[in-house]
Amino acid sequence: MKMAEKRPLDDTELDGLFAAARSTGPEPSGDLLARIMGDADAKTAAVTRVSRPEAGRDVVRARPGLLATLLGLIGGWPAAAGLMTATVAGLAIGLATPDTLDDLTGGVLTSVTGYELEDFMPSYGDLLEEG
């Protein structure tokens, strides 16, 4: 019989095939089921149940991790980005030598006050030369 000549199965034949497939399926071992239940218990311990009386039901939420908790305390990712920007700007300004600051101000500070920036803020080079 060629493949094109095969007839489709009727409903009773299909029901018989499905019943045979269901009855011969592999059963999971007791060890596998115990491990699955152990994993489920571990996941259940990692969630918090929050009661919502207005909704009339309990809501299950996962506890946030350490990073999410810290970010939540400062205001999230936008606040963390602002803090990092301020940190980098503070380091750049703090490590700048007085000559660089004088260049950035265009010499206005030294001409108005009559003092050099080195009089107010020593550079790291001065600290290295004293040793």
pLDDT digits (tens, 9 = 90+) for 21-47: 887 777 889 999 999 998 888 777 666
Query: For residue 48, is it within any domain?
Result: yes
Query: For residue 22, is it within any domain?
Result: no
Number of domains in the chain: 1
Is 11 in a helix, a strand, or coil?
A: helix
Query: For residue 42, is it within any domain?
Result: yes
More confident position, 90 or 104:
90
What lies within 8 Å, CB to CB, of 74 at 6+ separation is 80, 83
Query: For residue 86, is it within any domain?
Result: no
Query: For residue 121, is it within any domain?
Result: no
Q: What is the pLDDT of residue 93?
A: 77
What is the chain's mean pLDDT, rounded?
76
Give, in degrees to the nearest 5, the angle at Cα 19 between 18 and 22. 85
What pTM was estimated for this model as a whole? 0.34
Query: For residue 43, is it within any domain?
Result: yes
Is the pLDDT at 118 greater than 70? The verdict is: no
Query: For residue 49, is it within any domain?
Result: yes
- Domain range for 51 is 33-63
Give, in degrees to the nearest 5, the angle at Cα 67 between 62 and 72. 80
Q: What is the pLDDT of residue 40?
A: 84
Question: Does an H or E element contain 129, and which?
Answer: helix 124-130
Query: For residue 50, is it within any domain?
Result: yes
